Chain A
Amino acid sequence: MTELGATAGAGADETGPPLIAMHGITKVFGSLVANDHIDLAIRAGEIHALLGENGAGKSTLVKILYGLLEPTEGEIRWRGEPVRLAGPQEARSLGIGMVFQHFSLFENLTVAENIAAAMPPDLSLAEVAAKARDVSGQYGLSVDLDRPVWTLSAGERQRIEIIRCLLQDPRLIVLDEPTSVLTPQEADRLFVTLERLAASGCAILYISHRLEEVRRLCSSATILRAGRVVATIDPRAVSAREIAGLMVGTALHDVVAGRGAAEGAPRLVVRGLSLASEKAHGQALRDIELAVRAGEVLGIAGVAGNGQGELFAALSGERLAHGPDVVAIDGKPVGHLGVTERRRLGAAFVPEERLGHGAVPDHRLAENTLLSRHGTGGLVSRGFVLADATRALATRIIETFDVRKEGADPRARTLSGGNLQKFVVGREILREPGVLVVNQPTWGVDAGAAALIRQALVDLARSGSAVLIISQDLDELFEMADRIAVIHAGELSAPEATGDLTRETVGLLMTGAAAPKGTVHAH
Chain B
Amino acid sequence: MFNLTLSPAQTEYIVKPGGNIVHSLTVTNNSNQNLVLTTSVRPWVPGTAEGAIDYRHAIPDPNIIFYLSNPDLKLGQAFNLPAYSKKQLVINAAVSQKSDQKDAYFTFFVSQDISTLDPNRTSQSLAEIGAHLLLAISHTQELPSQAQIGEFQIRPIIKDSLLTPIVFQAKIQNRSDHYFRSQGKITLTKNKKIIQTLDLFPETVLAHQQRSIRCHQPSLPAQSSPQPQTCRLSPPLWPGIYTATLALDSSLNGSSAAITFAVLPFSVFIPLLLAALAIIFTPRFLTRRRRLSP
Chains A and B are bound partners: no
